[in-house]
Every structure is written in C-alpha cells, then in structure tokens.
C-alpha cells in the first residue's frame, strides 16, 4: 500500500512539474526573439521629409498598425511608408490602408514580404502586471524594455484626441510610436503611443501611454 502511495505521489509531482513547465511565463529573451517578425522599424516619407517609428503586425495577412501622428496630419496621397524587419538590411514598401487621426491609429499592409508574423493579443490585463515594450527606440533598431502596468485605464486628453489608455513605467521614447506592449505570455496588449510633456514642452519620463489593442482591433478597416 505504501509503495502504491509513493508511486502516486511521484506521478502527481511529475504531472505538476510538466504542467508548470508548459505554462511557464516567457522571459525577456523569449519575448524579444518572438517579436522580431511582428514589430518592425517604420520609415514614413512625406514629400521630402522622413519620420521614423515602429509598426506592429496584428494579423497573419500582413496587416500592421502604427500611430497616425507619424504622418504629421497629412493626407495618404502624399505619404509613403516603408518597414524594415530586424533580420533584414533593406526597407520594403507597404500600402497605407487608413490613417485615423482622431484615434491616432494608422493601418499598413505588407504585400511584398512573407516575413511577418502576427502577435496573439488579449484584452485582459491589470494594474501591476509585468509588461515589456518592444520598438524602434530612438530609431536605433528594435529593442526591448520592461516594467509594469501603472494603471490599466487612464483618460488621456491630448487636444487631438481623448481616449482611455494603458499607463506603464516600461521605458519607450521617440521611435517607439506604433511599437508593442506585451505581457509575460508574449501577448499583445496595445501599441506604445505617447508621453506627456510639461508646460515647457519637455517629455515627462517615468510613465508612458499605450492605445489598448481592443481599440486597434475594433477600428481595423474591413474588406482590406
């Protein structure tokens, strides 16, 4: 009888270990490596001017999302967009599907490459949860930073738009606009968008704001 109980204890312990291993949260290396086909460098040409940012893949047909403010309130007709994957040396041209300045969202379609891979996303997140930002920080290539969700829903009014956004202390800077906020399971929570400024126009570091992925998905253009 004791032998049977011992065997059962060993079996249960083994199954518990396997279950924990299968549900293991990813570390920062896993998050970064799994994002390299999903978060890309973005270059926007507006007549003779260049703006840089990030873009994040949201479906397996090559649809990317970024921030509208990268396009400087200009019409699609005078803008051209290019993305570059971390594993590639050259940019590829992408189609600009829609620019929504009221929500600071723009959608792009990659028809020229098959390198893209969509991130899974979730609408579930909470204050205090550990997160990662991935994007083209300071236009120096795709990088990663970590932090927490400081507040899962904050009403942000920029004058251009008003929206409930995710606040995080995970670092991001110029060039990260349109990048990804990712949880420990590797799921996309939203796109990194802005930092507030003080009355002198200086960026307030220590907290940044993210458009929730639900807003991105709910406003995705249909019949692309």
Domains of the chain: 34-109 (2.40.10.10), 130-218 (2.40.10.10)
Q: Taking a C-beta distance cutoff of 8 angstroms, is the pair 32, 141 a contact?
A: no
**What integer pLDDT is reported at residue 1 of this predicted model?**
53
**What integer pLDDT is reported at residue 19 of this predicted model?**
47
pLDDT digits (tens, 9 = 90+) for 168-194: 999 999 999 999 999 999 999 999 999
**What integer pLDDT is reported at residue 16 of this predicted model?**
44
pLDDT under 70: residue ranges of the chain: 1-24
pTM above 0.95, yes or no: no
**What integer pLDDT is reported at residue 20 of this predicted model?**
45
């Amino acid at each position: 009888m004791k032998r049977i109980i011992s065997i059962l204890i060993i079996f249960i312990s083994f199954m518990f270990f396997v279950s924990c291993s299968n549900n293991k949260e990813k570390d920062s290396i896993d998050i970064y490596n799994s994002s390299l086909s999903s978060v890309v460098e973005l270059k926007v040409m507006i007549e003779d001017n260049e703006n840089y940012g990030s873009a994040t893949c949201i479906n397996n047909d090559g649809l990317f999302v970024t921030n509208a403010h990268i396009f400087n309130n200009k019409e699609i007709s005078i803008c051209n967009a290019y993305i570059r994957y971390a594993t590639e040396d050259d940019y590829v041209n992408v189609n600009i599907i829609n620019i929504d300045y009221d929500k600071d969202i723009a959608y792009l379609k990659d028809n020229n490459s098959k390198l893209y891979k969509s991130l899974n996303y979730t609408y579930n997140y909470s204050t205090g949860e550990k997160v990662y930002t991935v994007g083209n920080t300071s236009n120096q290539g795709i990088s990663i930073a970590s932090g927490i969700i400081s507040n899962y829903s904050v009403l942000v009014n920029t004058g251009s738009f008003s929206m409930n956004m995710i606040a995080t202390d995970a670092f991001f800077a110029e060039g990260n606009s349109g990048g990804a906020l990712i949880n420990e399971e590797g799921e996309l929570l939203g796109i990194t968008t802005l930092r507030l400024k003080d009355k002198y126009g200086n960026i307030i570091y220590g907290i940044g704001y993210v458009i929730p992925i639900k807003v991105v998905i709910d406003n995705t253009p249909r019949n692309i």
